[in-house]
Structure 1
Amino acid sequence: MYVAVKGGERAIDNAHAWLAEERRGDPGVAELGVAQIREQLALAVNRVMAEGSLFDPDLAALAIKQARGDLIEAVFLIRAYRTTLPRLGASNPVDTGAMAVDRRVSATFKDLPGGQILGPTFDYTHRLLDFKLAAEAAVPEAATAPALAGPVPHVTGFLNRDGLIEGAERSDATPPDLTREPMELPADRALRLQAITRGDEGFVLSMAYSTQRGYGRTHAFVGELRIGRVAVEMDIPELGFAIEIGEVELTECETVNQFKGSKTEPPQFTRGYGLVFGQSERKAIAMSLVDRALRWKELGEDDTGAPAQDEEFVLMHCDNIQATGFLEHIKLPHYVDFQSELELVRRLRAEAMAVQEAAE
């Protein structure tokens, strides 16, 4: 039971003012600008865009500043803003094979057409604090290398030539839009991928880790991980053809998983897939592992009872905004609820004590 609470407007106004003061911090320190956050905290910006389902680095940076670095709060702000935007149309599916690649690695094939492109990554850095970064106006050590322009064929295509891996799914049907329609179970793969790609990175990572430890049996190889920019095109009915309206940075991951075969399918490798806004390779890899774990039924595999195989458990708990709202609502006034629980406990205690006294 929820009741309206009145009389706290002044306290709430003071809390807002205090929050603004805390957000600004020491006035003697230069204020952090949105452009600085966008350029220098790019990975945080990418996460907010991915989980907020809105590609706009400037707005994501503003949300991070407003949220004092609380990324889940920033995602909440982005999602709330996105609901106010008009839907002008739908873009065509992006062609990641024509990606302008900044980073492209494979754990399955050493010699790739175009080569392995390490790109900007922490993979080969020492996890030691670099105190040079604390110096003012630090100068970058080297300029960035040019991106590898497409077409850049996908690694899994090499396996597909010999029929060693399942074919990629192709469908002309318009997938459901999770940003406009509520989740319904059972969900098809397109809807599952939408839910996971905007799910909480920590939750998806934990689910993926559980599959690697045996809860779901989907130990995989990274067939390919690529990061780069792709063109976004939209059909214009008045023109009769598609035009490019911009480009977005994406991280794409395809994993290669063993498959023993079933009554209808021969032994071959299967795929897991992840696609995320920005440079978000941890999320993309985790997403591809969870995607593969959730496909156990369509592949005719056994249900081992693993959490990552439970569609309802994964999809209904991966959204950090829903989780945060339900978790944090318990700190709001529940005076009437608690009083009823308190009276119940007192009555039960009195009845128990009466029974005990009667027995004595």
Structure 2
Amino acid sequence: MYVAVKGGERAIDNAHDWLAQERRGDPAVPELSVAQIREQMKLAVNRVMAEGSLYDPDLAALAIKQAQGDLIEAVFLIRAYRTTLPRFAASRPVETADMVVDRRISATFKDLPGGQVLGPTFDYTHRLLDFTLMAEAEGCDTGPEQGTPEPAIPVPHVTQFLNRDGLIEEAPHSDDPPPDLTREPLELPADRALRLQAITRGDEGFILSMAYSTQRGYGRTHAFVGELRIGKVAVTVDIPELGFAVEIGEINLTECETVNQFKGSRTEPPQFTRGYGLVFGQSERKSIAMSLVDRALRWNELGEDFTGSPAQDEEFVLSHCDNIQATGFLEHIKLPHYVDFQAELELVRRLRSEAQSQQEAAE
């Protein structure tokens, strides 16, 4: 038994060495630095930060490099590291109305205070390969010189215009601190704050699939993007010794509010309702999908009918959206199951033998 264990250790060490060689690739090609990943693969970095529940572009870039670009593996690395960090304080809720926007669009109003800000997006590009990107870095232009940025002016949320006429539900507010999904296990039924935490940490592909299903008739939540905004917000923390809050930094966020029809109920008049998404970094697809799923999950509190949509099933969505849990359960089947399989093998052999005996007896 000892020899088998030692042999397994040797095999694992060799696998680690081989993995390191594969990660590095051809030594003749310059090694990809963490700074390059952070600056030139920002959307991948943003996804790892969002699903890893840790805002740190450098660590997310390091995780992507270590994981050879496998973003789920990178999320796993970030979450594992996150568990080792002490928590010194809890920040105040960020004020997204004060966001310094890089991008801000609305599908409901053409002209609005602050204007439409297209910002950096693939929305208006042609999906054609740009072979100039294959040019050597030394010969590439660094781009236009950046001028002095204009002073940032906070812009109000679009839904405020609908609020004036009472055409949209008021945003729910509670002074109770929300539960912390990173420290407490998920319990069902979950309130909206907990659901939003689970969805924002959930796998982008899964949330996208659920949101897509609502648009195709499963959930009846076809929505308008009231506003999608991307930009920087300040993070502030209350300092008890000082008696006031102190700004400790800025983070980039993507926020989406969708506007959905609502026919009304016995207690509520017909009006528009909201779906909400908030994600680290620039992550438009995830934030829009998140807002659609959030709205679909609110069917019960709004007195709507359950249509059988998977996106309306809280237990289904929240229990299966986490890609780390899904990966662990999926990939555990490649680990040794020798004893289990031998039991199954013996059972099948016995059943086959009994069936053959019965057939021979019948003949």
Is TM more than 0.5 here? yes
The C-alpha deviation readout for 1:67-99, integer Å capped at 9, x for no partner, is: 000000000000000000001110000000000
Q: How does 1:253-268 map to 2 (within 5 A)?
A: 253-268=256-271
1:159 aligned residue: 162
The separation in 2 between residues aligned to 1:148 and 1:19, in whole angstroms, is: 48
The C-alpha deviation readout for 1:103-144, integer Å capped at 9, x for no partner, is: 000000000101100000000000000111111222244456
The separation in 1 between residues aligned to 2:150 and 2:245, in whole angstroms, is: 25
Maintained 8 Å contact 1:46/1:278: yes
The separation in 2 between residues aligned to 1:354 and 1:147, in whole angstroms, is: 87
Amino acid paired to 1:355: Q
Other structure's SS at 2:256 match: strand
**Is the alpha carbon distance of 1:135 and 1:287 closer, same or farther for their aligned partners in structure 2, counting shifts above 3 Å?**
same
Amino acid paired to 2:283: S
Aligned match of 1:218 in 198, 221, 244?
Answer: 221
1:278 aligns with 2:285: no
Aligned match of 2:341 in 338, 341, 344?
Answer: 338
1:174 aligns with 2:177: yes
Maintained 8 Å contact 1:102/1:147: no
Maintained 8 Å contact 1:164/1:269: yes
1:247 aligned residue: 250
1:126 aligned residue: 126
Other structure's SS at 2:361 match: helix
**Is the alpha carbon distance of 1:144 and 1:55 closer, same or farther for their aligned partners in structure 2, counting shifts above 3 Å?**
farther
Maintained 8 Å contact 1:101/1:147: no
The separation in 2 between residues aligned to 1:248 and 1:300, in whole angstroms, is: 37
Amino acid paired to 1:314: V
Shift of 1:354: 1.3
1:8 aligned residue: 8
**Is the alpha carbon distance of 1:20 and 1:158 closer, same or farther for their aligned partners in structure 2, counting shifts above 3 Å?**
same
1:186 aligns with 2:186: no
Maintained 8 Å contact 1:46/1:279: yes
TM-score by length of 1: 0.97
**Is the alpha carbon distance of 1:212 and 1:143 closer, same or farther for their aligned partners in structure 2, counting shifts above 3 Å?**
farther
Other structure's SS at 1:90 match: coil
Maintained 8 Å contact 1:102/1:148: no
Structure 1 gaps of 5+ residues are: none
Q: How does 1:228-243 map to 2 (within 5 A)?
A: 228-243=231-246
Other structure's SS at 1:291 match: helix
Shift of 1:149: 2.3
1:227 aligned residue: 230
Amino acid paired to 1:162: D
1:108 aligned residue: 108
1:61 aligned residue: 61
Amino acid paired to 1:125: T
The separation in 2 between residues aligned to 1:226 and 1:39, in whole angstroms, is: 21
Amino acid paired to 1:139: D
- Give the percent of matched residue pairs that are identical in Structure 1 and Structure 2: 84
1:297 aligns with 2:300: yes
Corresponding pairs, count: 356
Shift of 1:35: 0.2
Shift of 1:148: 6.9
Moved more, 240-249 or 135-144: 135-144
Other structure's SS at 1:19 match: helix
The C-alpha deviation readout for 1:15-37, integer Å capped at 9, x for no partner, is: 00000001000000000000000
Shift of 1:165: 0.3
2:117 aligned residue: 117
The C-alpha deviation readout for 1:169-193, integer Å capped at 9, x for no partner, is: 1110000000000000000000000
The separation in 1 between residues aligned to 2:97 and 2:132, in whole angstroms, is: 39
Amino acid paired to 2:295: R
The separation in 1 between residues aligned to 2:274 and 2:146, in whole angstroms, is: 32
The C-alpha deviation readout for 1:21-70, integer Å capped at 9, x for no partner, is: 01000000000000000000000000000000000000000000000000
2:94 aligned residue: 94
Maintained 8 Å contact 1:97/1:150: no
The C-alpha deviation readout for 1:316-357, integer Å capped at 9, x for no partner, is: 000000000000000000000000000011111111111111
